Amino acid sequence: MTTKLALNIKFEQAVRLMAEHFPLSDETSRKPRLFHIIRVGTYLYENDYSDNIVIAGVLHDALEWSTITEEMLRKDYGDTVVELIKTNTKDDSIKIGKEKTDELIKRCTAHSEDALIVKTADILDSFKWYSSQNNEGELEYCMNNAIAITKYKPKHYTDKIFTKLSPWMKKCQ
């Protein structure tokens, strides 16, 4: 198998796993969740990120929104992907939104540039979706994440994805 073929198979397996364990989206959902994770993974895939980043992008909401366990993920995708997913999972014990956002972004920046890339792809997709829906409240959430990413991102994290936040931040101000 070629590397690209192997990644395509892992991507499909990750989507199938999420489809089996994710709650169905409906009219009350903030966004179609399954389609969101596919878009995040596809963005990372199309921009030639590593296999681990792409798969973590597809699975970034697995622990937060599905019945998938850490053990299931570790068995199929390994420690690196699981750590990227865990790092991108909100700490629901923190009740104040800005504090929760800051803690998550700080955790991503402390972990690795890869973790922050996954989170940034997640926020970019959310910006696009909520902008298309004129959802001011969720756009504010996206803006808070983008501001935190910009504020806490170490200078040596220079991936091109981080520059993609600026136009959205300007558009939503």
Domain residue extents for the chain: 3-22+31-171
For residues 133-157, average pLDDT: 96
* CB distance 148 to 97 below 8 Å: no
For residues 34-45, average pLDDT: 97
* CB distance 119 to 112 below 8 Å: no
Local confidence band at 3 (pLDDT 50, 70, 90 cut-offs): confident
* CB distance 38 to 58 below 8 Å: yes
For residues 99-117, average pLDDT: 98
Residue linked to tokens 């803690």: 103
Distance CA(84)–CA(145), nearest Å, equals 17
Residue 77: what pLDDT? 97
Distance CA(79)–CA(62), nearest Å, equals 15
The amino acid that residue 142 corresponds to is C
**Phi, psi (degrees; rounded to nearest 5) at 10:** -60, -40
**CATH 3.30.70.920 for domain 3-22+31-171:** no
The amino acid that residue 116 corresponds to is L
For residues 104-117, average pLDDT: 98
For residues 52-63, average pLDDT: 98
CB neighbourhood size of 95 (10 A):
7
For residues 1-27, average pLDDT: 90
* The two structure tokens encoding residue 17: 């796993």
**DSSP alpha helices (H): ranges in the chain?**
3-21, 33-46, 51-59, 62-65, 70-87, 97-111, 113-132, 136-152, 165-171
Residue 97: what pLDDT? 92
Q: How far is CA 172 from CA 39, 124, 135, 164, in A?
A: 21, 12, 11, 13
* CB distance 59 to 85 below 8 Å: yes
Distance CA(120)–CA(145), nearest Å, equals 9
Distance CA(49)–CA(102), nearest Å, equals 25
State what percent of residues in the chain have pLDDT above 90: 89
